[in-house]
Structure 1
Amino acid sequence: MGARLYKEFLSCEDHSRMQKATKDTISFHEYRKRTEKHLSEQEELQPDECWERSIKDTLRVLKDRPCNFAIYRVPSRLRKINEDVYNPRIVSIGPFHHGREDLLKMEEHKWRYMLSLLGRTRDQVKTLQEFTKGIIKLRDGVPGCYADDLNMNRNKLMDILLVDGCFILELFIRYSDANFRQNGGDETTNGAWMIPTIRHDLALLENQIPFSVLDLLFSILESSNGERFPYTLNQYVLLFFHSASLEQTVPMNPRAREARHVLEMLHIYYLPSSSKTDDLKEDHTWGFKHCATNLLKSGIEIEKATGCGGLLEIKFEKGVIQFPTLSIDETMETIFWNLVAFEQCRVGGTHHITSYLMLIKGLIASSKDIELLQKKKIIKISDRSRGEDVLTFFNSICREVVLKDFYFAKICEDVNHYTQSWWHFHRIKAHLGVPWCNCVVGR
């Protein structure tokens, strides 16, 4: 389109259809459907002008529609592998699963949590007004955070953002209280299965609201009290998922401020201090050539890392691979499934978590490898009887995954080269008739 025509449709005064599309969060397809219907009704009067106007209006709508995708629908190729790990079980967060029949029982509880959150302030009426005004300011940018059609009016969307945001904050604040956790929760979360189930739901890629909403509400909450809470919002998030994270406390990643929703906050938490990915070769093997038990036979030692390193801070030096401990439970598995889906969907990001899971998958060829990694305290399984389930988990989570970069390429290359040299060294010694017990590999 030429510059003259571009300026012409930007200055066009007929905004009726554009305004209708931007007042309601209708999909682009729905907007085009309405436009085409209107066009067919007007064709007999001025067919060419109506068609030209419909093109101009559509381009104008696209120009004004925000597009900053962060929350996605899980691709069908991943869903078909394990449907349950992507679906909320008890509570919907955000618009994608809102209104689902089996999740409606939690709606009243979410409103009660909002009431309780307001009760923490000095002036509930004033705080609620600030909440609603803040949500109104954010609403125009929210639809652009979702990579799928919402098809709901803006008032409904603002309801969801406000109520779900307040529910999450009140839940995090309550859970941070040791007495709350020790006493088994409250009337909403008192079942032994409730908190793990809610953790599952809050970690889902499709069950998110923009982090800017939580940040806004939390800031208003602090200012209305005139004092700070004992934790920052980021710390509340990590505290709630603490049982699903590392054994040791890891310092907050400075990139946490870039998180666009709770799941991305967890993603940033697990990232290494250096996010540089190694250069890949087309024929590069993504992983070790040997499983854990065979690595030991190849002269490699496997040890638990010491110190406060992140989950991906894996090191190899002088024949020893050091792994931070991975604690595996149902919540951690849910987080991993959804982090992989997040990395598969987003544009421009690296595949750190997918790389890690591919690496661990290569270590585990049988239950013997799991037993070895447990003995070495590399893997900590919540239920000892779930060893076979862990094997199935690692074998299935990497299916249908497209890996565009591999964070551990250099480590794998070094380890594979070391094992190859080790075997070559012993073959020469064997050929010369030197007993293996006299062989020493320098480290």
Structure 2
Amino acid sequence: MSTDEQNCFTEEPVKENVEIIIKDAWLSNVQKRIEETKLVNWSTQSPTIFKVPRILKETNPNAYEPRFISLGPYHHSDTELLATDNLKWQYLKYFLRHFGINNLDYYHNLIKNMEYDLRRAYSEDLSMIPSNDFILMMLLDGCSVILKILGKYKSAATLWADVKIARDIFVLENQLPFFLLEALFDSASLDQPDSLSQNILGYINEHTGSDLELPSSHSGRIFYHILHLYHSCIIVPVDDPTPTQSSTSGLRRKLNKLLRFRKNQRKTQSEFTWIPSATLLEQAGIHFKRKKNAKSFLNITFKDGEIEIPQLQMDDHTNTILRNLIAYEQCSAEAPTYVTSYVHFMDCLIDTAEDVELLQQDDIIISGLGDSDEVATVFNELFKEVVIEVKEDYLADICEKISKHRNTSYNKWRAKLNHDYFNSPWALISLVGAIFLFILTAIQTIYTVLGYY
């Protein structure tokens, strides 16, 4: 047998052995990963504080991140926010000295006993954060929020931070579990007749210009975090909520939202009950009116050709709050998508600066953003990359009524007349001239006929 033939026979077993080793290594690694993976039962263990999905965050990254202070684990290591750590220590020292049990061991044990549930409240894996670091983070951040809500620690050195912190408290990724705040609040010796929920609501009303009330059943209600409390308060005053809203399976809704995000799919315009812009509706004889004494900006009504909309002050702060409320609705298995429906409705109404100016004339929109074009752009971008179940759209019935009213023969004729002849001064002048010429021609014809007889 030649040397080449011998080499050929010896190479085959070697190759097979290498393939077996590679396969065994692959099997071992995959098996190890499977064993290390923890199964999560969504029906009993659903997180409530979420990282905003990338596809949604890309529309306006800054709106979903804290700018001044980090609360919780998601932005704890952001270098731009580390400068406020000294402020957190000031809050902790003041809390322990004036209100809390001045015993760090007590608070270590308090938070340690709830650490497992605190970690489960977040949608991301926090196993890389050591236990003592996690406990300290929760203590510092929780005491800071309690003092800001109660307005207890104010000095010339911290007054400048109030507005900045107020903005960051509404960011979804910056939420703290409500039961942590309750535990710290209950441990404090406070001269406070109101509950933590009532104090937080007062803070929300102060910083959003609202007059919200807690849900009537709030005494037995579980709030997940401050943003959830705010969301719960704004959806309660809405008239005639969709009956199927509460009966929808939370797990099914969560799966639908997750799959839609993964596939980057959005509902097409035809799947919604579409309505024209505000200027086109006005031309069709549908008028707008500011709804006074509304408890929630979501409480939109339509009757006898008139749309009533509560006033909304649109600025950077409002833009941030709306975006984070929408993000919460998109991520939560339980939250009804009322804010998403509201933004879709306003997105339909506002196409151009003229639509914004019309709503400003009716005192429905107050702008703190600049010109009308900027306001229109903000509303148009709010609805980008969000998903909504048609059966959960609490404004679908109102949109349908508006469409039916607009599509009556008289209103369609009126809209066409307004659009074709009253939309510009030259078209109006031409129409008046044509009518005047017609009248003169008719008079001349009459006189000619009378002269003949």
**Which TM-score applies when normalising by structure 1?**
0.73
1:189: which partner in 2?
A: 158
Q: 2:109 aligns with which of 133, 141, 149?
A: 133
Q: Tell me if structure 2 keeps the 8 A contact 1:286–1:358.
A: no
Q: Deviations over 1:144-202 (max 9, x none)?
A: 11111222112211111111000000111117xxxx8xxxx5344333xx333212221
1:236: which partner in 2?
A: 199
Between the aligned partners of 1:272 and 1:301, the Cα distance in structure 2 is 26
User: Residues 279 and 269 (structure 1 numbering): CA distance in 2 closer, same or farther, change over 3 Å?
Assistant: closer
Letter in 2 for 1:291: S
2:54: which partner in 1?
A: 76
1:377: which partner in 2?
A: 363
User: Residues 97 and 332 (structure 1 numbering): CA distance in 2 closer, same or farther, change over 3 Å?
Assistant: same
2:185: which partner in 1?
A: 218
2:241: which partner in 1?
A: 276
Q: Is 1:410 equivalent to 2:366 in the alignment?
A: no
Between the aligned partners of 1:273 and 1:90, the Cα distance in structure 2 is 32
Letter in 2 for 1:210: P
Correspondences of 1:43-442 after superposition (within 5 Å): 58=36, 62=39, 67-121=45-99, 124-126=101-103, 128-150=104-126, 151-174=128-151, 186-191=155-160, 194-221=161-188, 224-225=189-190, 227=191, 229-247=192-210, 249-254=211-216, 257-273=221-237, 276-277=241-242, 286=272, 288-382=274-368, 385-404=370-389, 405-421=392-408, 423=410, 426=413
Between the aligned partners of 2:40 and 2:377, the Cα distance in structure 1 is 46
If you compute each CA radius of gyration, which structure gives the higher value, 1 or 2?
2
Between the aligned partners of 1:279 and 1:56, the Cα distance in structure 2 is 39
| 1:419 to partner: Cα distance | 0.9
User: Residues 284 and 55 (structure 1 numbering): CA distance in 2 closer, same or farther, change over 3 Å?
Assistant: closer
1:23: which partner in 2?
A: none
User: Residues 277 and 259 (structure 1 numbering): CA distance in 2 closer, same or farther, change over 3 Å?
Assistant: same
Give the fraction of aligned pairs with identical amino acids, expressed as a percent.
27
| 1:320 to partner: Cα distance | 1.5
Between the aligned partners of 1:62 and 1:279, the Cα distance in structure 2 is 31
Shifted more, 160-169 versus 260-269: the winner is 260-269
User: Residues 373 and 111 (structure 1 numbering): CA distance in 2 closer, same or farther, change over 3 Å?
Assistant: same
Between the aligned partners of 1:236 and 1:102, the Cα distance in structure 2 is 30
Letter in 2 for 1:161: M
**Which TM-score applies when normalising by structure 2?**
0.72
Between the aligned partners of 1:85 and 1:425, the Cα distance in structure 2 is 41
| 1:113 to partner: Cα distance | 0.4
Q: Secondary structure at the match of 1:380?
A: strand
Q: Secondary structure at the match of 1:321?
A: strand
Letter in 2 for 1:236: N
Between the aligned partners of 1:134 and 1:85, the Cα distance in structure 2 is 33
Shifted more, 418-427 versus 300-309: the winner is 418-427
| 1:422 to partner: Cα distance | 5.4
Runs of 5+ consecutive residues of structure 2 not aligned to the other structure: 1-20, 246-266, 418-453
Letter in 2 for 1:189: T
2:248: which partner in 1?
A: none
User: Residues 53 and 255 (structure 1 numbering): CA distance in 2 closer, same or farther, change over 3 Å?
Assistant: farther
Between the aligned partners of 1:343 and 1:167, the Cα distance in structure 2 is 26
| 1:276 to partner: Cα distance | 3.3
Q: Secondary structure at the match of 1:338?
A: helix
- RMSD of aligned C-alpha atoms? 3.4
| 1:118 to partner: Cα distance | 2.1
Between the aligned partners of 2:225 and 2:73, the Cα distance in structure 1 is 14
Q: Tell me if structure 2 keeps the 8 A contact 1:72–1:205.
A: yes
Q: Tell me if structure 2 keeps the 8 A contact 1:94–1:160.
A: yes
User: Residues 51 and 282 (structure 1 numbering): CA distance in 2 closer, same or farther, change over 3 Å?
Assistant: closer
Q: Tell me if structure 2 keeps the 8 A contact 1:245–1:327.
A: no
Letter in 1 for 2:300: I
1:436: which partner in 2?
A: none
User: Residues 62 and 305 (structure 1 numbering): CA distance in 2 closer, same or farther, change over 3 Å?
Assistant: same
| 1:424 to partner: Cα distance | 5.4
Runs of 5+ consecutive residues of structure 1 not aligned to the other structure: 1-39, 431-443
Letter in 2 for 1:276: P
Q: Tell me if structure 2 keeps the 8 A contact 1:287–1:359.
A: no
Q: Tell me if structure 1 keeps the 8 A contact 2:56–2:385.
A: yes
Q: Secondary structure at the match of 1:119?
A: helix
User: Residues 285 and 414 (structure 1 numbering): CA distance in 2 closer, same or farther, change over 3 Å?
Assistant: farther
Between the aligned partners of 2:244 and 2:102, the Cα distance in structure 1 is 56
Q: Secondary structure at the match of 1:142?
A: helix
